């Protein structure tokens, strides 16, 4: 008896079928992995949000500065050092922002950004993969606030904690973020351009944690340089209710632009 073997045509058909299945399944697997990283990032932020809630309870319902003290000095701190006792993620010292510790690091911290200038920034500074809202926790570098009239806020001063961003995704450039998406200036604009790149990190969106401690994913505008009119909105005047509505970064009395002209 002769042994039967595959013909060349049969072999090519099998190879073609395998190639077709691979082309169908590989993107699905990639999306599943991306979704898993998004969920892990959301879990990170929920833990950070809980830590802030415990911090606020221990300090007369007042949020900390995003960073304070002489820049580069032994007494200089950024917010991860302040919430570390509630997280116990292994953060050491008070000046090394390059540590990559547990929940402070987004699983997609090395992902490419729409603006190639920022790609790789987040991977280099582990403790700053996430930023706090600067309008809630002002920077106080060199013991002098960067914005006149702004300081740390108390829970009592917040009009709508469930819609005020407390923590969001970032690129490692700064400890705090403004959330402004009404202007895209230059690649070196770490507060605005940096935020607008980071908000596309997970499947065209990003995770946000709010001042009441809950976390949620929101989709970014299709054009990452565009102002957001849905989801996470910077100003009241960009919201669906106009000046009578609330923004996601600035719903604090006396800090909001209330006319469309102020949003330009």
Can you tell me the distance from the alpha carbon of 65 to that of 233, in angstroms, rounded to the nearest whole number?
A: 23
Domain boundaries of the chain, sorted by first residue: 32-216
CB atoms within 10 A of CB 35: 12
Between strands 130-133 and 165-169, the pairing is antiparallel
Digit-by-digit pLDDT tens for the chain (264 residues) are: 566 666 778 788 888 888 888 888 777 677 788 899 999 999 999 999 999 999 999 998 989 888 876 655 566 788 999 899 999 888 887 778 888 888 999 999 888 889 888 888 877 788 889 999 988 888 876 555 444 445 778 888 887 788 889 999 988 888 888 888 877 877 667 778 888 999 999 989 999 999 999 999 999 998 988 888 778 887 766 555 554 455 678 755 444 444 444 444
């Amino acid at each position: 008896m002769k042994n039967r073997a595959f013909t060349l045509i049969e072999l090519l058909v099998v190879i073609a079928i395998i190639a077709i299945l691979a082309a169908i399944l590989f993107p699905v697997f990639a999306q599943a992995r991306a979704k898993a990283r998004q969920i892990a990032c959301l879990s990170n932020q929920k833990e950070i949000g809980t830590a802030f809630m415990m911090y606020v309870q221990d300090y007369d319902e007042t949020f900390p500065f995003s960073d304070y003290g002489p820049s580069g000095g032994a007494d200089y701190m950024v917010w991860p050092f302040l919430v570390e006792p509630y997280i116990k993620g292994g953060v050491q010292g008070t000046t090394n922002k390059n540590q990559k510790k547990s929940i402070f690091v987004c699983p997609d911290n090395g992902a490419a950004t729409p603006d190639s200038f920022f790609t790789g920034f987040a991977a280099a500074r582990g403790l700053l993969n996430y930023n706090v809202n600067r309008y809630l926790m002002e920077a106080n570098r060199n013991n002098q606030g960067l914005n006149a009239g702004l300081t740390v806020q108390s829970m009592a001063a917040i009009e709508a904690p469930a819609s005020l961003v407390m923590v969001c995704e970032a690129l490692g450039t700064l400890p705090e973020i403004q959330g402004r998406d009404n202007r895209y200036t230059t690649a070196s604009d770490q507060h605005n351009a940096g935020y607008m790149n980071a908000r596309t990190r997970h499947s065209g969106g990003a995770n946000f944690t709010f001042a009441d401690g809950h976390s949620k994913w929101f989709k970014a505008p299709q054009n990452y340089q565009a102002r957001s009119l849905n989801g996470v909105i910077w100003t009241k005047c960009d919201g669906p209710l106009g000046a009578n509505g609330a923004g996601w970064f600035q719903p604090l009395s006396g800090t909001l632009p209330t006319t469309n002209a102020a949003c330009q």
